[in-house]
A and B are shown apart, each in its own frame.
Chain A
Amino acid sequence: MTADLPVHAMERLKGLRSSAHSTGVFTSDFSVNEFLLVRKAGFEPIGLCVGSCVYHVGIQYGSWSKNQELEVLSKAMYHARELAMSRMRAEATAMGADGIVGVKLTIKRLEWDDQLLEFIAIGTGVVHGDGHKGFRAHDGGPFTSDLSGQDFWSLLHSGYRPVEMVMGSCVYHIAHRGILSGLGTVARNVELENFTSAMYEAREIAIERMQFEAAAAKAEGVVGVDIREGSYGWHTHVIEFFAIGTAVLPLAQEIAPEKIPDPIMVLSVND
């Protein structure tokens, strides 16, 4: 920490309020370190962007003895997330943001109705400090990313920029007992190929859909991918396979791999 504080900081400490922000304030849910790293990366937060969507998820009956995708539910889960995200993005566009970092996408069940789910997307809109527009997404709107401020800085320093949060969803019904009935007394371990192939198909559909979105956003790759399974108050054999990640493109000014510095190794001597 240097003793030579910036002029602005000194003035504020003396009690003089800056008029630098025309709107007066910015809002963000950054932690201190996130804030510092986002600014180090050349961006300034301008405001928290929120999109939400309360969605009535329809009913779909499937055959209990069958492995099958429940398309009605898949579409509902995807469409509702998409609505929440696009509303958040519209708010960012209105603010003139170049992108949204640290997007948190959450799903809540509403107590009074099993079929109502609330989808919330929330993140911090940022602008490039020098007004550089090259960070916008392929459609000229703000980029979206679920990366934290720390991850955002690291991504830029690995030679990539975020383009769009991409996702794929597949709600799947895994066949019920029945196929197990003949196995009750088998005295060896056998694979239940029926179940295994259900996992394969459902997961593959989710990954494919995510990858398709990334290709549509003209991305080179997808980083920070999480492939997870979730159940939102459905029957136990109904599982959502969900793939999510941030689609990325190389920076306009590429960083050669040999220019990336090695990290310094440290040993914490705390007990």
Chain B
Amino acid sequence: MGLFDWLRGPSPEDIARREAAEQRQAEIQSALLQGTVPAMIRSRLEGARAGRLPWVATLTPAELMIARSHGLKPIAAVAASCWLHYGWSWTEGHAQGWDAALQRLRDEARAAGANAVLDVKMRTIPLEAGNSMDFTLVGTAVHVEGLPPSSDPIVATVPALEFVKLLEADVVPTGIAIGAYYEWLLNFSINPNMTWMGNIESHQLSKLWEKVRRNAHQNLRVHARRQGNGVLSHLNFSEMFEDEVNNQKRYLARHIVVATTVDARRGTPLPHDFRFVVDIHADGTPLTGTTPHHQSYASNESEGAI
């Protein structure tokens, strides 16, 4: 490429490529608006489904081993995104954004002829664009040997090893449930005692937190009921802000809970014996350590490994 190529203007190939790209963009956008899988993605998924293209799996080799011995065949890597602008509510946007991505992920899984999507990770691109954020899910669509393709593929936020462990115990991880809630406290009044007496509960703020957390968990339950009969592995994200308007302190509290939904039959014990071991590894033991599986809420308190 010469230094002054740009003076010469674009070549016919450049123009053709640009037009093809624009057409692809338009096609993707209209597919998203109609709630269908964009054509270029559909053709890749169907190629992998028919075996014309190599399968693609985010699984590690150890997971591939377990997948094979349990009749799971990887088909394709699937991914779904929703980039949302928060005009109304940042907090509730999280529930809305993940839910949209989840629906799209299921559509891709269906196009791939899958029974399930494993190893689903929640991802967010670190790009600040206005008041908005992207909600992305990435996972591996798999087919269970001997089963017809599912019309409602399950979405498992756990890696293949845990997926198999759960299935053996008659627990089916089915999807992701989100509970989000926020509330403003506008009429905060300082307890005069608080300024000099020290130890005293701030009832108003306690109540605010309690209400926000309870409602978030209530929303989680409602969202989970559509997908299964329980949730595991909460991931919690909460924040509280203070500001002041006309000498009046105001508080905003918000709480987001994300969890894996499961469909569990009661009373089926795990058909394996456990061996007790003492690990003499020098640093943190690799037996209990888990690497973080999701990065969207990496900066906040978190429990478990959803």
Tell me whether B74 is interfacial, beta carbon within 8 Å.
Answer: yes
Asked whether A186 lies within 8 Å of B285 as measured between CB atoms, the reply is no
Residues in A213-235 with C-beta less than 8 Å from chain B: 214-215, 219-227, 229
**Number of residue pairs across A and B with beta carbons under 8 Å?**
213
A142-185 vs B, CB cutoff 8 Å, 1 = contact: the mask equals 00000100111011011110000000000000100100100101
Given the interface pairs A245-B56, A265-B272, A268-B278, the reply to whether A223 lies near B61 with Cβ below 8 Å is yes
Secondary structure dominating the interface of B: mixed
Stretch among A6-14, A43-51, A132-140, A204-212 lining the B interface: A204-212
Q: How many of B's residues come within 8 Å of A, CB to CB?
A: 70
A184-204 vs B, CB cutoff 8 Å, 1 = contact: the mask equals 011111111111111111011
Contact of A265 among B69, B81, B85, B274 (CB under 8 A): B274
Q: Which residues in B have their C-beta under 8 angstroms from that of A131?
A: none
Q: Which residues in B have their C-beta under 8 angstroms from that of A191?
A: 32, 82-85, 100
Asked whether B65 lies within 8 Å of A189 as measured between CB atoms, the reply is no
Asked whether B127 lies within 8 Å of A155 as measured between CB atoms, the reply is no
Tell me whether A23 is interfacial, beta carbon within 8 Å.
Answer: no
Asked whether A188 lies within 8 Å of B273 as measured between CB atoms, the reply is no
Given the interface pairs A180-B130, A201-B24, A270-B285, the reply to whether A58 lies near B54 with Cβ below 8 Å is no
Asked whether A247 lies within 8 Å of B54 as measured between CB atoms, the reply is yes
Min CB distance B292 to A, Å, is 14
Asked whether B77 lies within 8 Å of A227 as measured between CB atoms, the reply is yes
Tell me whether A69 is interfacial, beta carbon within 8 Å.
Answer: yes
Asked whether B40 lies within 8 Å of A204 as measured between CB atoms, the reply is yes
Asked whether B87 lies within 8 Å of A189 as measured between CB atoms, the reply is yes
Asked whether B71 lies within 8 Å of A67 as measured between CB atoms, the reply is no
Asked whether B276 lies within 8 Å of A189 as measured between CB atoms, the reply is no
Asked whether A180 lies within 8 Å of B61 as measured between CB atoms, the reply is no
Q: Which residues in A have their C-beta under 8 angstroms from that of B86?
A: 189
Asked whether B25 lies within 8 Å of A189 as measured between CB atoms, the reply is no
Residue on B nearest A207 in the bound complex, by CB? B77
A174-B277 Cα distance, complex, nearest whole Å: 51
Asked whether A196 lies within 8 Å of B134 as measured between CB atoms, the reply is yes
Min CB distance B261 to A, Å, is 23
Asked whether B138 lies within 8 Å of A192 as measured between CB atoms, the reply is no
Q: Which residues in A have their C-beta under 8 angstroms from that of B128?
A: 236
A67-B25 Cα distance, complex, nearest whole Å: 8
Asked whether A201 lies within 8 Å of B25 as measured between CB atoms, the reply is yes
Tell me whether A15 is interfacial, beta carbon within 8 Å.
Answer: no
Min CB distance A145 to B, Å, is 10
Asked whether A203 lies within 8 Å of B79 as measured between CB atoms, the reply is yes
Task: Given A189-B87, A197-B38, A204-B44, output 19 extra A-B contacts at Cβ < 8 Å.
Answer: A151-B61, A154-B65, A189-B93, A191-B84, A195-B129, A196-B81, A196-B83, A197-B25, A199-B134, A201-B25, A215-B53, A222-B55, A224-B57, A224-B61, A245-B56, A260-B69, A268-B277, A268-B288, A270-B287
List 14 A-B pairs, Cβ < 8 Å.
A67-B25, A158-B61, A158-B65, A191-B82, A195-B83, A197-B29, A200-B28, A224-B60, A236-B127, A257-B68, A258-B69, A266-B274, A266-B276, A270-B279
By a beta-carbon cutoff of 8 Å, the part of chain A in contact with chain B is 58, 61, 67-69, 71-72, 147, 150-152, 154-155, 157-160, 174, 177, 180, 183, 185-201, 203-204, 207-208, 210-211, 214-215, 219-227, 229, 236-237, 239, 243, 245, 247, 257-258, 260-270
- Top 7 nearest A-B pairs (CB, nearest first) are A158-B65, A155-B61, A195-B83, A260-B69, A221-B55, A186-B87, A154-B61
